[in-house]
Amino acid sequence: MEDYHKPDQQTLQALRNIANRLRISSIRATSSHILTPSTDRGNSGATGQTAGSRSV
């Protein structure tokens, strides 16, 4: 263990900042799919009927 070089405070703070930015970025990336409604889900409407098969 005598070859181990303990990182200084400036390096540790830089690594903490990078880790926080990565966390924020990953949260934004995953939550954007939840908050944005998708129109391409294969559903044709709330009733499940297509435009040509409406019941009268």
**CA 14 vs CA 4, 5, 17, 25, 43: distances in Å:** 19, 17, 5, 17, 47
Residue 46 counted as domain residue: no
44 Cβ contact partners less than 8 Å away, ≥ 6 residues apart:
50, 51
Answer whether residue 44 is part of any domain: no
Domain count, the chain: 1
Residue 19: predicted pLDDT: 98
State the residue range of the domain holding 22. Answer: 8-32
- Tens of pLDDT, residues 11-38: 999 999 999 999 999 999 888 666 556 6
pLDDT at 9: 98
d(CA 26, CA 28): 5
User: Residue 19: inside a domain, yes or no?
Assistant: yes
Does 49 fall in a domain? Answer: no
Question: How far is residue 24's CA from residue 17's CA, in Å, rounded to a whole number?
Answer: 11
Q: Judge whether 38 lies within some domain.
A: no
Model pLDDT, residue 3:
86
What integer pLDDT is reported at residue 11 of this predicted model? 97
